[in-house]
Structure 1
Amino acid sequence: MFGAFNSVSLAAQSTTLPFDDIKGNFAEKNIVDLVKEGVVDGTGNRKFEPNKYVTRAEFVTMTDRLFKLQPVNADMPSFHDVSPKSWYYGWVEAAIQLGIVEGKSKTQFMPAAHITRQEAAVLIVRALKVDPGSDSGDRLPYADADQVAPWAAPYVLAAQTLGLMGGADGKFRPTDPMTRAETAAVLDRVLQDKVWNKAIHKATDFGLQIGWQNGLTTSQFEEEIKGTNVNTLVPRWFFLENNQASLSNYADPSLSVWAKQNHKKIWAMLGNHSDPVLTHQFLSNEAKRKTVVQQLTGYVKTYGLSGINVDFENVSPDDRLYLTAFISELSTSLHGVGAVSSIDVSPDLGTDWTEAFDYEALGRYADYVVLMGYDEHWAGDPVAGSVSSLPWVESALNRLLSVVPASKTVLALPFYTRDWTLKPGGAVSEELSLIQQGHRIRSVNYNRTWDADLGQNVLSYTRQGSQHRIWVEDGRSLSLKTMMAEKRGVAGFAYWYIGAETPDIWTSLTNATRYASY
């Protein structure tokens, strides 16, 4: 069984081979290599059963293990026939989320079906992120090339060219099932390649992993952080105020102590209550800017902060130059005490909402620019749609990267979505955390369609006579956005907000970052 690794007994350790039935097999060395790597195990009683056929679920599991991926206990199953209770559930979900494998149909994965040789070729070439081109199969060097399915032909040729899969007696046998020995041979050939081997065994660099605090007490925030990849905390501590104090201070020194003990950094947030009048009064007054800069620099030293995160929203276009000046002044002062500056910006949509952001100048003066990759469709939007579709985020990120270096850019991802009620006069929405989304989905009878263009599942249901639609944010959608941004070399990611996500999200994001590094 592939559901769990079998511990090797003391008796087995004393023998040369891990199994009694592989000596002399063509894949003997491959099997031994993969046992050492934790990629394959036996079927019990010191047997490997090299001639036994491999199921789709088993092949996916071994491929995931080869690439050092972790099983994902996804909050929402991708297929009707892959039960969350099955031993292979997490392995299948992990591969689906990264685009390594697809179902046999939109609703069925067929985990117990034997994987064919041509299906195996497609899966392993795709897992290695090799573009097979669009060869029709005319160049396949096999007598039975005409039996290779058109959708598999480019991958079969790629697998042959890469030295991963070959034929026998001049034939490829595309529809024959893969044996366990054949599978071991293919996977071990990946390991024997020095480039692939180095990539697989290289430690993953997660870069900046920023988590905002929202609606949680300090102790709750600390507890939530423990189960995440977050290495930089952003508590909402400081806000502009319309009084002589200039800033309100909600700092909790105990978080600073905890962060230091747990090797985390703190970039305390400076907010503006989304108040354009208050913000203008502050930004346009050089003396007030100087006072706030001095206060924040003092707080950095008092609370042992590593930086300040500026989150100004609804800023008047007239304050564009003033905002840039403030970030320049703040950055200079923070650098003097060994801290960094960061500013949160919305995607450049060419509207008044973002006119105050001189993206190029902010990227020049701030240490990091955090792109808030969400609210594509927002609260109050009369048009229903995704909070953060893949093409929208990709376009926004590309635009920012045209003027801000990737090494200074952080992509913020949403841990929330919206449940849209479709009405004749326009849609209305309810914001849902990812936890609430899961509860909502499990409480209704829904139809779901994977939209490959948007990189999301679109779910619909009816309640009290009204049509509802949810553009689902989950491990799969967030992984696709993560891999897209990783390709562009961003400095890291931020998450709005910690505590809104389901636990599986962090496994998904870990896998996505690791897989993107290959």
Structure 2
Amino acid sequence: MGKFIGTLSLIFLILGFPISAYAQQEQNQNVEEQPQLAQSSSAIEQVVKAKLMTNYSDGNFHPERLLSRAQLATIMVKTFGLNKRNVPSANVMVADVPSSYWAYNDIQTVLKTGIMQGYRNNLFFPNQRVSRAEGLAIFAQAYGVFQFSDDTVANILSTYSDAESIPSWAKKAVATVVTEGFVKETEGQLNPLKPMTRGDMASVLSEYLSRQQPRPDTPVVPGGSVNPQPGF
């Protein structure tokens, strides 16, 4: 495993939501690796075939590699066609993402649509690793966060032994992906604070693709509103 860069004590605010931020990684598109459970090869094949994610130049998917914010932005644009929405023409100032950066256009799109937000001082931290809670919450933001009551959210998440470790800003979004069956727990845990791997995201995307339904701009939720939750 490569060197682990950063400190978990650095705190940034995303539109009022506290998020523990890892220190920014080296400007390298390849993200660090860590051992993970084997991911479903069929899920990976499905996602690659749909062109939502791609293999590396060596022809392998590398599901164990960690997902960066820039990679997540690109995946969200492809999955939900964010660039086809009514996106403002004015670019967003992002100090650490120059126009020459490989994911510049996608990062601009997620910022303009509000699917993701930058940090203070106009920073995006494109190479920062994404936690499972953050990755699932951003996916839910693009999908449409179900506006469950707090009691309903607590009930949905109560079956997971690590539910209390889910950050408060992510609980409603995580409850959405759990309810929709997009996420699979590992032995009764969601592991919200662990880094999200490419395999983790492929699993979520595969479940989404398996629905074979139109993209739900306004999904119907019994007993709840579907207005997106702010914060990403």
TM-score by length of 2: 0.68
Matches within 5 A, 1:113-152: 113-135=128-150, 138-139=154-155, 140=157, 141-152=159-170
Output the amino acid matched with 2:177: A
Give me the TM-score of the superposition, normalised by structure 1: 0.32
How do residues 167-316 of structure 1 correspond to structure 2 at under 5 angstroms? Answer: 167-196=185-214
Provide closer, same or farther for how the CA distance between residues 77 and 99 of structure 1 changes in structure 2, counting only shifts above 3 A: closer
Q: Which amino acid aligns with 1:92?
A: I
* 1:99 Cα deviation after fit: 1.7
Q: Structure 1 74/176 Cα, relative in aligned 2: closer, same or farther at 3 Å? A: farther
Aligned residues: 180
Q: Do structure 1's residue 38 and structure 2's residue 56 form an aligned pair?
A: no
- The 2-side partners of 1:163 and 1:106 are apart by 37
- Aligned-partner Cα distance in 1 for 2:73–2:91: 19
Which residue of the partner structure matches residue 334 of structure 1?
none
C-alpha distance in 2, partners of 1:145/1:32?
31
| Contact preservation (8 Å) 1:73, 1:90 | no
SS in structure 1 at match of 2:133: helix
The equivalent position to 2:113 in structure 1, one of 89, 98, 108, is: 98
Q: How far 1:135 moved relative to its partner?
A: 2.4
* 2:92/2:112 contact within 8 Å kept: no
Contact 1:53 1:177 in 2 (8 A): yes
Distance in 2 of aligned mates of 1:57 and 1:190: 21
Which structure has more relative contact order (CA 8 Å, sep 6+)? It is: 2
Q: Deviations over 1:131-164 (max 9, x none)?
A: 3435275321211111111111111111111111
Q: Deviations over 1:314-352 (max 9, x none)?
A: xxxxxxxxxxxxxxxxxxxxxxxxxxxxxxxxxxxxxxx
Aligned to 1:49: 62
Q: Secondary structure at the match of 2:126?
A: coil
- Return closer, same or farther for 1:105/1:30 CA change in 2, 3 Å cut-off: farther
* Letter aligned with residue 136 of structure 2: A
Q: Any conservation in 2 of the 1:39–1:62 contact (CA below 8 Å)?
A: yes
Report deviation, 1:85.
1.4
User: Could you tell me how far apart the structure 2 residues matched to 1:169 and 1:187 are?
Assistant: 21
Q: Identity of paired residues, percent? A: 25
Structure that is richer in strand per residue: 1
**Unaligned segments of structure 2, at least 5 residues:** 1-27, 31-36, 218-229
CA contact (8 A) 1:118 1:175 kept: yes
Contact 1:2 1:41 in 2 (8 A): no
The 2-side partners of 1:133 and 1:108 are apart by 31
Q: Following the alignment from structure 1 to structure 2, what is the Cα–Cα distance between the partners of residues 117 and 104?
A: 19
